[in-house]
Structure 1
Amino acid sequence: MTTPYTPAADAQPQGNPTFEPDGGPTLAQQLGAFAAHCAEHGVPADVAASVGQRTLDVLGLCVAAHRLPTSAAAVGHVLDQGGNAQATVIGVETRVNAAQAAFANGVLAHSLDYDDTHLPSILHPSASVVPAALAAAEHAGASGEVVTRAIAVGLEVAVRLGMAGYDEELNNSVFFEHGQHATSITGAMGSTVAAAICYGLDAEGITNALGLTASMASGVIEANRTGGTVKRLHCGFAAQAGVTAAQLVKRGFTGPPTVLEGRFGFFQGWLHGQFFPEAITSGLGTEWSVPGIFFKPYPANHFTHTTVDAGRAFAAAGITPEMVAEVTVGVAGSTARTIGEPIEVKRTPVTGYQAQFSGPYAFAAGLIGGGGLATGLDDYTDELAQDPLRRELMSKVTVVDNAECNEIYPFQFPAVVTLKTTDGRELVEKVLTNRGGPARPLSDAELAKKFSDNVAGRLASDVAAKVSTEVLALQGVADLSAVLAPLTTFIPTDSEESK
């Protein structure tokens, strides 16, 4: 039975966003004590099961991301560095040093915009924490039980630090208000906790690792606005920083205990001191965020997912593309700016990547139907973005601000879709919760299907099934490297065979 972590009586900071310690444990020390306790005593069963699911999800994404030229560039960069053979890069037979493996797999995990999401902080924790933990665990020879505990705590720390920057009055993350990528900033901190557990650091060592990583955590999201592929590197940098910091602490480096709330600390540096410490400490050890992190069932911007679902619902009711006269997609105002503006561009995506951020395309993809769990990676291609049938449907779609959706966002990304048929009917489909979240969870079978779809054409089906079974039971794995080994050699693609 898992023993819950109980903070010291004076360990709960009270007050306001400018909290300063008054002699009790600092925030980093509390996180260090929590992490060390979980490393020794374990985590709840539902949390451990969620870790197995998230690890499988990340590994499938790493395989699928090899289709991107940026993935080849990142992997090539890592292989050029050389170094000791300590850990596995997915899709690569040559083992590399642990920090570089964490970097490569972190890049792969985040590159397809298909990784999990925590709400309402809107950060993607697994894409950095899982690669960091796997690399450190391989290097240290840690068991599946240890790496399960490490990932669980790393995810929890990343999410809690992200929520410390979530302002309820703003209804948004202060990180994002400042143009910062919370995913890689708090992901680095969660990654170092996970790596530190795998390397066997105690509470003081974990606290020191947080102190070091704060000087390496980074991420600017200007690329979301004006372009560039740098965002794909962010989770790689975060995972690498976490592993590096844990290794350096193991060699004797130390960090400031007040690294989070201090006058020149993490929250002052990133958020100008505007943060909410109770999000870090409230319920620590008894209330876990990990099982509630949302999986992505579709490989597109998360804001579009409920619109895909609405399209599928209309199709199930017998609506065909030829019957559609007009469609109004109502979403929260904050999401409308991403998936509906400028509407002329969103109706005419040129590439599959642009289609991933298009509300009109999401409706068309849902109504027409596709692979995966309703739409899959093969439904977001350059060819389909320009498909005449989809273009015709998209020309009839408008994306608007919806009051009901605004009341729910950002705890869900809802959609209220109104469809007018060519024979004069008006139909409404409300999708107010996201598939893949606590209200509509994905089963092990659905996550296994997502994994098998992501590795299709790269791994034989029997190999994929074996990996899926083993990773979902990660706690019981004795040799992590043996589980990862089948993911290093892919079936050659047609283009590779022709070389």
Structure 2
Amino acid sequence: MVAPNVLEDRTGDAMLDLVRWAGGLTIADIPEAVVDDTQRRLLDLVAAGLAGTQADGVPQLLRAVADWGGRPVASVIGCPERTSVPHAVLLNATISRALELDDVHEKALLHPTVATAPIALALAEQDRSIDGARLLTALVAAQEVMCRLGLAPEYHVAGPRHRPRGWSFTYQCGALGGALVAALLRGLDESRTLDALGNAYTALAGNQQAIKEAALAIQVQQGVTAQTAVQSADLAALGITGPHEVLEGEYGWLSYWHGGSYDRSVVVTELGERWESAGASVKPYPVCRITHNTVGATLAATAGVAPADVDRIVVHVNSQESWEEVVHPLERRRRPTSSMDAQFSLPFIVAIAAVRGTVTLADLTESAIRDPRVLALADRVEPVLDPGFEAAAGRVIPMPVTVDVHLRDGAVVSRRSAHPLGHPGNPMDWAAVEAKVWDCAAWGVTPADGAVVEELVAAVRGLASEPSPGRVAGLLARAKAVSA
């Protein structure tokens, strides 16, 4: 057995403040509204996982994990066979992220629940001493740390100081948040927890190139991040030390990756008083969250309007970041080459909303993206980079979006959306999230077991008093089979 690693307070790194706060947090310290929000977003991840069993790339990854082998102690969504914890979180995070249905913190530019919950559920399934209150406390702590890290660096989505963002907060902050939730549930002491975070930092990865090329790696990156996180904690538990000055050391994430341009107060002040994780949004549409305000404005502007009556649709794109991610190159974004490509193609998504009056998974299948009605209207969607929005600096996210629908009779219908559905300013309540669970359970070619889905919903809603929260992982394995 490795002897306890006695921590010398040799660092003033902000990560030490975060670890000490997280280690001392109890369920009683967390406001009821924050606990409720965390549980609701966990149920939302259940929905995403049920739908993700039908995603391309999942059967291939399952075959890889089967070839790799591993001690069968952890459940995989949609599969009767168990595998090791690192392989289970690789699969479960990938499955849950695969269809762009999981929650997102728009301003922090990351996905908090998918980076942490698959790890927490796998560890709780393995360790029966972990109860629901402890699991929720660890999730809240890790997601709060993730969101604060995502918010701290100076980054401009618009204005003259904007620079293209090739790296991804989702994966980088996710590796650190995932390592923290694993360390907390493994019961690591303060120093070992810092080792776990340091180990995760040494393996940090994640970038946006896969989005540009519509590669399956974009969803697998989420799983690789979760796998890295849990392995980093396991290595720390066995005495593999990691760097402790992860954020503000000479080559720390904030001081080096972000050139020292960050707000330290965002990271360490008002811990337990200001809850940044409460700013996360639930997604009603299975497309990039950047497009959701545009979807909302389009649906409002085209309500009761026949697609044949639309001459063109002008979308006032709200930032250079949005333009780079979901508009450029324009012709490809009007005619995406795959379902995944379509999820990041704003002109095509606008056309779906105008033609079909909604945006669902059924609208993004390989056959649906070739619908001539949608393609014809997509050719008449005209994105313009709005100079009024672009003059803004910093992270005004989500930025409002205006959509102008020009009709063939000369009339123009304009609608503006400031907070997309699912945002804390326009929230989806428990009933809406439950409805999403059932929609996702019904999606695809393999049927869901309705009784198991009902049990899943009840288990997540009662998680704070659940003695064995790891059973949620087992229920997810039984609820809906992975598509062959």
Q: TM-score under structure 1 normalisation?
A: 0.87
Structure 1 position 465 matched with structure 2 position 454: yes
1:392 is aligned to 376
Equivalent of residue 143 in structure 1, options 131, 135, 138 = 131
Which residue pairs with 1:422 in the alignment? 408
Q: How does 1:13-412 map to 2 (within 5 A)?
A: 25-39=12-26, 41-141=28-128, 142-167=130-155, 177=164, 179-316=166-303, 318-334=304-320, 335-369=322-356, 374-406=358-390, 407=392, 410-412=396-398
Contact 1:350 1:386 survives alignment (8 Å):
no
CA distance in 2, matches of 1:337, 1:185: 20
Q: Secondary structure at the match of 2:141?
A: helix
- Contact 2:351/2:381 (8 A) holds in 1: no
- How many Å separate the matches in 2 of 1:167 and 1:328? 28
Q: Deviations over 1:1-56 (max 9, x none)?
A: xxxxxxxxxxxxxxxxxxxxx97743121111111111475422122112212222
Q: CA deviation at 1:189?
A: 0.4
The separation in 2 between residues aligned to 1:44 and 1:205, in whole angstroms, is 28
Determine if contact 1:191/1:243 at 8 Å carries over to the other structure. yes
TM-score (norm 2): 0.89
Amino acid at match of 1:485: G
Question: Which digits, 9 at most, give the CA deviation of each residue in 1:372-430, with x for residues without a partner?
Answer: xx422111122222212212222221011124544496410432111122222111111
Any stretches of 5+ residues in structure 1 without a counterpart?
Answer: 1-21
1:171–1:187 Cα change, 3 Å:
farther
1:157 partner letter: V
Aligned to 2:435: 449
**Aligned equivalent of 2:468:** 479
Structure 2 unmatched runs, 5+? 1-8
Structure 1, 48-57 or 165-174: larger mean CA deviation: 165-174
Distance 1:491 1:132 in 2: 20
Distance change (3 Å), C-alpha of 1:189 and 1:492? closer
**Is the 1:339–1:358 Cα contact (8 Å) retained in structure 2?**
yes
Report the Cα distance in structure 2 between the residues aligned to 1:172 and 1:460, rounded to whole angstroms. 53
Q: Distance in 2 between matches of 1:37 and 1:258?
A: 20
Tell me how far apart the structure 1 counterparts of residues 413 and 34 of structure 2 sit (CA, whole Å).
40
Tell me if structure 1 keeps the 8 A contact 2:301–2:403: no
| Contact 2:120 2:135 (C-alpha < 8 Å) held by counterparts | yes
* Structure 1 residue 490 displacement after superposition: 5.2
Decide whether the 8 Å contact of 1:340 with 1:398 is kept in 2.
Answer: no
Q: What amino acid sits opposite 2:455 in the alignment?
A: K
Report the Cα offset of residue 178 of structure 1. Answer: 5.7
- Number of residue pairs matched by the alignment: 469
Equivalents in 2 of 1:381, 1:434: separation in Å? 24
Alpha carbons of structure 1 residues 254 and 490: separation in structure 2 relative to 1, 3 Å:
same
Secondary structure class of the residue paired with 1:191? helix
Aligned letter for 1:232? Q
CA distance in 2, matches of 1:491, 1:89: 11
The one-letter code sitting in structure 2 at the alignment partner of 1:191 is G
Taking a change above 3 Å as real, the CA distance of residues 492 and 437 of structure 1, as seen in their structure-2 partners, is closer
Structure having greater relative contact order (Cα 8 Å, sep ≥ 6): 2
Residues 121 and 172, structure 1, Cα contact 8 Å, conserved in 2: no
Equivalence for 2:5: none
Equivalent position amino acid for 1:88 in 2: S
Aligned to 2:3: none
Q: Is the 8 A contact 1:259 1:266 kept in 2?
A: yes
Equivalent residue of 1:326, what SS? strand
Mapped partners of 1:173, 1:30: distance in 2: 31
Aligned equivalents of 1:259, 1:268: Cα separation in 2: 9
Shift of 1:350: 3.8
Corresponding letter in the other structure for 1:83: G
In structure 2, the residue matched to 1:489 is 478
Q: CA RMSD in A?
A: 2.6
What letter corresponds to residue 418 of structure 1 in structure 2? D
**Alpha-carbon distance between aligned partners in 2 of 1:172 and 1:97, rounded to the nearest angstrom:** 48
Calculate percent identity across the aligned residue pairs.
Answer: 28
For the residue of structure 2 that corresponds to 1:480, the secondary structure is: coil
Q: CA deviation at 1:172?
A: 11
Q: What is the rounded CA distance, in whole Å, between the counterparts of 2:340 and 2:160 in structure 1?
A: 25
